[in-house]
Amino acid sequence: MKLNRYFKILICCLMVANIEAYSQLNLPRGSQQATVSQRIGITDVYVKYSRPSVNKREVWGKLVPFGMNNLGFGTATESPWRAGANENTIVKFTNDVIVEGKALKAGKYGLHMIIHDNDKATVIFSKNNTAWGSYFYKPSEDALRVDVAMKPTSHVEQLAFDFTDVKANSAILSLKWEKKQIPVKIEVDVTNEVLANIRKQLEGQAGFNRQSWEQAANYSLNNGGDLQEALGWIDNAISGQFYSQKNFRNVSIKAQIMNKMGKSDAYGKLMDEAASLASTPQLNQLGYAMISAKDYTRAIKYLKMNVDNNPESANAYDSLGEAYKVAGDKKNAIKYLKKSLSMNPPANVKANSEKLLKELGVSI
């Protein structure tokens, strides 16, 4: 009988322990969880954190103590602030980044901060991203530390992370709370990241698509990539096995690569070939591209081709007249702009022809 009684007590104890271990209800928190993200180039930056409120408390130096502190729990004798509440604040980078001028590898990091009493903060990226707060913080797990200046801001009741000053290759990640913000500059070597990603993609299914090679070459051409590599890519689009097709786009891209390489003869021949492959809108576009490049001879040549191909197009005459105007040939500019107006052009073409004629001193 005693054995049976003790067995029942043991079962009850195990049941209680089991309930305590597994009955973690999903309930609202005082400091709500939040996430924020920003893409820089092709690099995604994510922050996951909890949002404590000011709630009429003194934050800096009190609620968030200055310096490193013994929090009275865990294994750390000195802990930084967890840059939020509850679990680790987590920041994730999908590619390598530069934080305040210092390199940081792609990955997920626990984010901590040391707040100083001179409006400075030390921002810590820890390799440990699974801890609860900073109670178990170890300096040996630091991946990077950077020092930044805190700045004033309008009152922010609930702590928030925000991305500002977003540019093509950088953004500012700021923690904002009470009347202070802690900005951290994140930069990405966008061109090299994109080109590395392109190389990987071209080894897969994208490599069997002509447009992929065209896009790759065009990106490299216009973003400081290796011109020899770009030339190889565009040649794959033009003459690659299975998917090749010579067209206006890839021939004109190759021409621009040749021009950047200083091969002017090859550039001229290829531009003429591209013009022969161009549709009406493409030929008009090519003429304006030559105007922008101040290659007025080719601009007039291509826009004349457009007039010959489209003798009933008021827009073709308007474009040719504009090319003559910028080239300094007033007589031919007036001739073709007036021809455009005589053809009952669309409103936008009419407005452009009239504007150009007025600039040439011709009364309408």
pTM value? 0.78
Are 184 and 200 in a shared domain?
A: no
CATH code (residue 245): 1.25.40.10
Asked if residue 268 and residue 177 are part of one domain, the reply reads no
Determine the Cα–Cα distance for residues 178 and 62; give it in Å rounded to an integer. Answer: 12
Rounded to 5 degrees, φ, ψ at 38 are: -155, 135
Supply the angle between the helices 190-202 and 210-222 in degrees, to the nearest 10: 160
C-alpha to C-alpha distance for 343 and 315, rounded to whole angstroms: 10
Q: Are residues 225 and 304 in the same domain?
A: yes
Q: Are residues 167 and 227 in the same domain?
A: no
Determine the Cα–Cα distance for residues 222 and 191; give it in Å rounded to an integer. 10
Of 188, 215, 233, the last residue of a domain is: 188
Structural domain contains residue 3 = no
- What type of residue sits at position 268? G
Determine, yes or no, domain membership for 122: yes
Domain that holds residue 92: 32-188
CB 289, CB 262: distance < 8 Å? no
pLDDT of residue 272: 95
Q: Say if 330 falls within a structural domain.
A: yes
Burial of 35 (0-12, 13-18, 19+ CB in 10 A): exposed
3-class DSSP assignment, residue 209:
coil
- Residue with the two structure tokens 């001879």: 297
Q: Domain boundary residue among 155, 188, 221?
A: 188
CB neighbourhood size of 46 (10 A): 14
Q: Which amino acid is at 255?
A: A
222 shares its domain with 352: yes
pLDDT, position 77:
83
37 has which bridge partners?
46
18 domain-assigned: no
Helix, strand, coil share of the chain (percent; to 5): 45, 25, 30
339 and 218 assigned to the same domain: yes
Q: Are residues 134 and 228 in the same domain?
A: no
Per-residue pLDDT of the chain (364 residues; tens, 9 = 90+): 444 554 444 444 434 444 444 446 766 666 788 999 999 999 999 999 999 999 999 999 999 999 998 887 877 789 999 999 988 999 999 999 999 999 999 999 999 999 999 999 999 999 999 988 888 999 999 999 999 999 999 999 999 999 999 999 999 999 999 999 999 999 999 999 999 999 999 999 999 999 999 999 999 999 999 999 999 999 999 987 656 689 999 999 999 999 999 999 999 999 999 999 999 999 999 999 999 989 999 999 999 999 999 999 999 999 999 999 999 999 999 999 999 999 999 999 999 999 999 999 998 7
Residues 338 and 229 in one domain: yes
Q: 173 with 222, same domain?
A: no
SS3 333: helix
Buried b (16+ CB within 10 A) or exposed e, 134-149: bebbeeebbebbbebe
List, in sequence order, every residue forming a beta bridge with 144; answer none if it has no partner: 125
Same domain, 158 and 245: no
Say whether both 333 and 256 belong to one domain: yes
- Token reading at 121: 């903060």
Which pLDDT score is estimated for 8? 45
Together in a domain, 228 and 207? yes
Candidates 33, 47, 32; CA nearest to 125 is 47
Q: What are the phi and psi torsion angles at 348 (to 5°)?
A: -70, -40
Residue 44: in which H helix or E strand, if any? strand 43-51
**Cβ proximity of 240 and 250 under 8 Å:** no
Task: Answer yes or no: is 76 within a domain.
Answer: yes
In 3D, which of 80, 61, 74, 64 has the Cα closest to residue 123? 80
Q: How many domains does the chain have?
A: 2
Report whether 185 contacts 100 (CB < 8 A): yes
Q: What local confidence, expressed as pLDDT, does residue 4 receive?
A: 53
Q: Which residue do the tokens 């080239």 mark? A: 327
Question: By the 8 A CB rule, do 173 and 163 touch?
Answer: yes
Question: Do the bridges between strand 151-164 and strand 107-115 make them parallel or antiparallel, or are there none, so unpaired?
Answer: unpaired
Element (H, E) at 184: strand 170-187
